[in-house]
Structure 1
């Protein structure tokens, strides 16, 4: 895993771990007591639980998926904390029961820095949907 030396590196690091389907690397992006809210509103606490949430889907329905992330902004909260927002496009392959499709989400990650290295303290992933219909919305 490449170490995150700037908070905005989180988008690329998360993307690389996902696309390699390497849940050990994914877990290493988080503080041991971090929280994660997936796009369905499921909250877990702790790096081990975050890995446990992702490992089964990366062995099955998301094993042929890829992510493409794009940083929107980085908001400094002092010298050792930041909030990073980034777009995430999930390309889901044929392994998924619904077949190949795209899902766009907006991710908010809170990171803190210790000895020059940034780790995720909290992350929330929100699916883009039309509030009137509930249908998925894709970014252009």
Structure 2
């Protein structure tokens, strides 16, 4: 599912995640893209992004699903945009902690290329209580 416009990035990311398809996930990213996961692990390059995600999709997140909701799109010049979206991960029985939910906020920088839009940089932030560090779920969901 290529990204035909920045607004489609959250749905495309969720579709690749929910299919647990690393080829599909890789197709969303620029070859030299960067990714920061929810634990602060930084990687550069689509191969490294897939190497970060493949093991978790083969194990603890093999039965997970992701639901994303667009917050906004901020154009930053011709052919570039910043996309923010809420993400809710529903971990399943394959996770050592059992079924549970994790809410995060993703920021992605996209660039338009010949075949559509590609993610050049993405960062995923877990929603936590700043006083305790305890994970939080968005109360409006």
Aligned residue pairs total 139
Closer, same or farther: CA 57–116 of 1 in aligned 2, 3 Å: closer
Moved over 6 A (4+): none
Segments of 5+ residues of structure 2 without an aligned counterpart are none
Measured on the aligned residues, the alpha-carbon RMSD in Å equals: 0.8
- Cα offset, 1:115, TM superposition: 2.7
**TM-score where L is the length of structure 1:** 0.97
Match of 1:4 in 2: 3
Q: Distance in 2 between matches of 1:114 and 1:100?
A: 39
Query: 2:2–2:27: 8 Å Cα contact kept in structure 1?
Result: no
- Residues 1-140 of structure 1 aligned to structure 2 (within 5 Å): 2-115=1-114, 117-139=116-138, 140=140
Q: Distance in 2 between matches of 1:15 and 1:138?
A: 18
2:136 aligned counterpart, secondary structure: coil
Q: Distance in 2 between matches of 1:114 and 1:59?
A: 31
